[in-house]
Amino acid sequence: MSKLEELLAAWLPRQRWFSGKGVPIHDLRVTGRHTLVPARGDGPGLDIVVVEAEQRGRRSRYQMLLGSRSPRSLPGELAAETIGVCRVGGGRPRAVYDASHDGELTAALLERFAAPTGPGDTSGVRFRTLPGAPIRVGSHGRVLTGEQSNTSLVFGEDYVLKTFRRLWPGRNPDLELTMALTGSPCVARTCGWIEADLPGYQEPTTLAMLQSYVPQATDGWVLATRSVRALMDGARTDGEDAFTAEAERLGRTTAEVHGSLARALPTDVLSPNAAAELAEAMVERLAMASEEVPELAEYAPRVMAAYTEFAQLGEPLPIQRIHGDYHLGQVIRTASEWVLLDFEGEPTVPVRERQRLTSPLRDVAGMLRSFDYAAGYLLVRHPDDPGLEWAARSWARNNRAAFCAGYADTGGLDPDQYLTTLRAFEFDKAVYEVLYEARNRPDWLRVPLDSIAAAVSTATAAAAPPVPG
């Protein structure tokens, strides 16, 4: 490996967006370096660098905005973002760093959108904008904080640029679906994107997308957990609060977006054979999770029974394009409406798989799981307080019901009429969460485990024969 590759191999596993945590990198190669701002003298240079990391025989590609400066001219605020010092492009040794935090370079990045790629460009990447949508320049990017699988830069109150860290061939679903939803008030407007032809990929790869910024909006997870916290602090005792109306409104918005996607993109039905194959994939995930997390094993038989019921569906199930990774952190509340974000789906799954049609009830199940998470997350700090647990679980039940009612009333599939499908999707999502928490946030593991235990208990009670009187 070159010096730069050695530095990146040490730096990459420490990044929150790196999907291969806990597995050693056996090899790392720079497979693409696209210069956007040439380095001159002590001044800054900007490159889009694509690397391929090998872990246990599997190769994954990632991208980074790589800044470089003379070590003596590196601003103090960039010291914490420094990856190391090495020669870049055969010149003098320079400090290389994550340029997402460099205001001067992110401003230059935005300027490239104002002058879309022409025939004389030699960077190897293409900046695309939509006709009739001129880009306002003059602001620099500010990195959005929070747990994300990508990196988003906010430019003033005009734009958000999302850089897709894990790369797959093909147009990213986030760009594809938001373009299909153009004109909808329920999504942020697409303004442009960056794409490139990468070695070994047969299709252009989406590197980043530029959307309009939605100002003065509040994250759905923040609103929900604030509501639960107020409930647990004694503001209310019956599980009812103002968020219930918001949950119903969110259900309506979700159904509207699903309806728009169904009109704009292909639809189909899930055949019984396809349902059986989908259930088989759920069973495999359950087996893997049970082996890795022994606490899950005691619930596996009842979860397996839910999958078996789903596999035996006798009627075709409507399928279409959906959000794919839907939860309270993917929605924001403005003064007038809910807005959906991040239609990317699961970043660790190839684009072609994320583009497959599936039931919109997957999104419904994801949001229902998120209501459970908002309640369970706050119970982690109070593990032995039955009163608080009752209040939090009541909050989750009420808001789950309100969301489903709003969804059905606005033309979405009525969850009450598809309980077998919804139950299977919820269990599958919870099993995924068990694996994620075990690998990344062990302190949160009891949140999905408690949800599975409660669901299993409810299902078992419902299936029990009546006690003779």
What confidence score (pLDDT) does residue 388 get?
83
Instruction: Give the separation between CA 393 and CA 268, rounded to whole angstroms.
Output: 36
Dig out the tokens for 179 from the structure: 């373009």
Show the low-confidence residues of the chain (pLDDT under 70). 116-123, 147, 235-241, 459-469
Coil vs helix vs strand at 139? coil
Dig out the tokens for 405 from the structure: 């009612």
pTM of this prediction?
0.90
Long-range contacts of 113-120 (CB under 8 A, 24+ apart): 113/137, 113/191, 113/192, 113/210, 116/192
| Matching residue, tokens 């442009």 | 192
Dig out the tokens for 388 from the structure: 């608080």
Give the H or E element holding residue 8. Answer: helix 3-11
Using alpha carbons, select from 175, 178, 137, 181 the residue that is nearest to residue 159: 137
**Could you tell me how far CA 108 lies from the centroid of its own chain?**
27
Coil vs helix vs strand at 37? strand
Which residues, other chains included, contact 232 with Cβ-Cβ below 8 Å and sequence gap of 6+? 378, 382, 388, 391, 392
Report which DSSP code applies to 464: S
Dig out the tokens for 146 from the structure: 């929070």
Dig out the tokens for 115 from the structure: 């002058």
Phi, psi (rounded to 5 degrees) for 64: -145, 150
What confidence score (pLDDT) does residue 417 get?
94
Instruction: Give the separation between CA 175 and CA 397, rounded to whole angstroms.
Output: 34
Instruction: Give the separation between CA 242 and CA 331, rounded to whole angstroms.
Output: 17
Residues 456, 459, 462, CA angle at the centre, nearest 5°?
A: 150
Give the H or E element holding residue 278. Answer: helix 272-292
Coil vs helix vs strand at 407? helix
Q: Is the dihedral of CA 13, 16, 19, 21 positive or negative?
A: positive
Instruction: Give the separation between CA 44 and CA 376, rounded to whole angstroms.
Output: 47
Coil vs helix vs strand at 85? strand
The tally of CA atoms less than 13 A away on the side-chain side of residue 403 is: 25
